[in-house]
Amino acid sequence: MSFETVSVIGLGYIGLPTAAMFASRKKKVIGVDVNQNAVDTINRGEIHIVEPDLDMIVHAAVTEGYLKAVTTPEPADAFLIAVPTPFKECAEGEIPEPDLRFIEAASKAIAPVLKKGDLVILESTSPVGATEQMAEWLAEARSDLSFPQIGGENADVNVAHCPERVLPGHVVRELVENDRVIGGMSTRCSQRSVELYKTFVLGDCVITNARTAEMAKLTENSCRDVQIAFANELSIICDKLDINVWELISLANRHPRINILQPGPGVGGHCIAVDPWFIVSKAPDEAKLIHTARLVNDAKPAWVTNKVKLAVADFLQNNPTKTAKDVRITCFGLAFKPDIDDLRESPALAIGQEIASSHPAVVNFVEPNILTMPENISNNARLLQIDDAITKTDIAVMLVDHKEFKAIKELPKTMVVVDSKGIWK
């Protein structure tokens, strides 16, 4: 049975580009989101997120009539669920537990419009067992239909997990080129999912079961987290031993089998700092390395903040006529990684907030990718352009290696630099 109509539930950083790719291949796509503002924006042919090239694709898809957005699900042949999977609030020191309430809400929302022959795919990054749990929620809501946990190969509705793996900033290209891991709850579920993704995916669609597909995604992001933690730990050791960590890593990386990642102010974004906890919470006694990597990366912002405080103390010692109120600090970068505007879970933002709330003078910020300061940062902060900021800085705190900062050739000789990204060294 072919897929005439595809519905994507959750029109965020993954769901909207995915919906747009299906629409660009002339599938009829119904995008569903609880956010009325997002729905209205998309229906005007515009987008509510920043992602290169996506605006043109969405605009074409909407004006040609292949993509529409709604707030309540409508019947379709395939449903892709791409909603957030955050973790639950927990006390400091406790292991965060995944929060599946958005998957549950999406399952309950599509259940009434499901029909025999439909395919439901969970794309959201999920703890092991979430796809089976989603199938249970669907079965509870629709006792008239059979699902793979009971119906197996002959189920009325097929269910699979196919995690998204695209890198923010490169989503349009990676959606097409990356290989996909397809974890069906039965062989037929997998085969039908491959057929669906082959609408636009040029990479391989590799079949496994749902639990392995869930774990594969968590493994990829945990692997990166562990490797970044190694680089961050090295940076702290090298600081103590008076060694330039960036020179050290570039030397070690000349070994044919070594490829160390780069240290920084910590790990941000909504994926790498979150997903490893989904493994740790399921296997707390076994996941020792993954757990420690999370703690190492989460501790890095406080280490950088402390470096800034030490730099202020040094500055005052070298300038005895000045008080802390006279020290002009500028933080370079607020985003969670270079050349994007995304501030979610950004270590640079956390460091900036801490400096602005503890320093007795106004703190300058430079972030070329945003126009106004985020509301939750202290009043004690102002956004400046690069050139202006450089003339008004005693202590520069380098937090994000944006291309504009890398292009700066020379800094004033008197400027003290706390460089968490090693671009001004």
- 352 and 381 in contact (C-beta within 8 Å)? yes
- Closest CB to ligand SAJ among 155 and 351? 351
Question: Is 75 in contact with 113 (CB distance < 8 Å)?
Answer: yes
Q: Name the minimum Å distance from CB 318 to ligand SAJ.
A: 31
Closest CA to 164 of 286, 302, 15, 343: 15
State the minimum distance, in angstroms, from the CB of residue 386 to ligand SAJ: 20
φ, ψ of residue 383 to 5 degrees: the values are: -95, 125
In the complex with ligand SAJ, which residue's Cβ is closer, 73 or 338? 338
Contact assessment for residue 210 and residue 216, using Cβ atoms and an 8 Å cutoff: no
Give the nearer residue to ligand SAJ in terms of CB position, either 9 or 157.
Answer: 9
Residue placing its CB nearer to ligand SAJ in the complex, 68 or 344: 344
User: Given the complex with ligand SAJ, which of 192 and 402 has the nearer CB atom?
Assistant: 402
137 versus 278: smaller Cβ distance to ligand SAJ: 278
217 annotated active-site: yes
Residues that bind ligand SAJ (CB under 6 A): 125, 164-168, 220-221, 224, 228, 261-262, 264, 267-269, 271-272, 336-337
Q: Are 245 and 239 in contact (CB under 8 A)?
A: yes
Q: Among all residues, whose Cβ is closest to ligand SAJ?
A: 271
Instruction: Give one DSSP letter per residue of 296-352, joined into a string.
Output: HHHHHHHHHHHHHHHHHHHHHHH-TT--GGG--EEEE--SSSTT----TT-HHHHHH
Torsion of CA 283, 286, 287, 288, to 10 degrees: 140
The alpha carbon dihedral of 356, 360, 361, 362 has a sign of: positive
78-81/119-122 β-pairing: parallel
Examine the residue annotation and report whether 271 is marked as an active-site residue of this protein. Answer: yes
Q: How far apart are CA 90 and CA 327, in angstroms?
A: 37
| Shortest spacing between CB 97 and ligand SAJ, in angstroms | 19
Active-site hit among 27, 189, 205, 217: 217
Rounded to a whole number of angstroms, the minimum distance from the CB of residue 126 to ligand SAJ is: 11
Rounded-to-integer distance, Cα 291 and Cα 182, Å = 27
Q: What is the DSSP string of 163-200?
A: ---PPTTSHHHHHHHS-EEEEESSHHHHHHHHHHHTTT
Residues 11 and 39: beta-carbon distance below 8 Å: yes
* The one catalytic residue among 162, 271, 300, 421: 271
User: Cβ 333 to ligand SAJ, closest distance in Å?
Assistant: 10
Distance CA 420, CA 357 (A): 20
Least Å distance, CB 250 to ligand SAJ, is 13
Q: Catalytic residue positions?
A: 217, 271
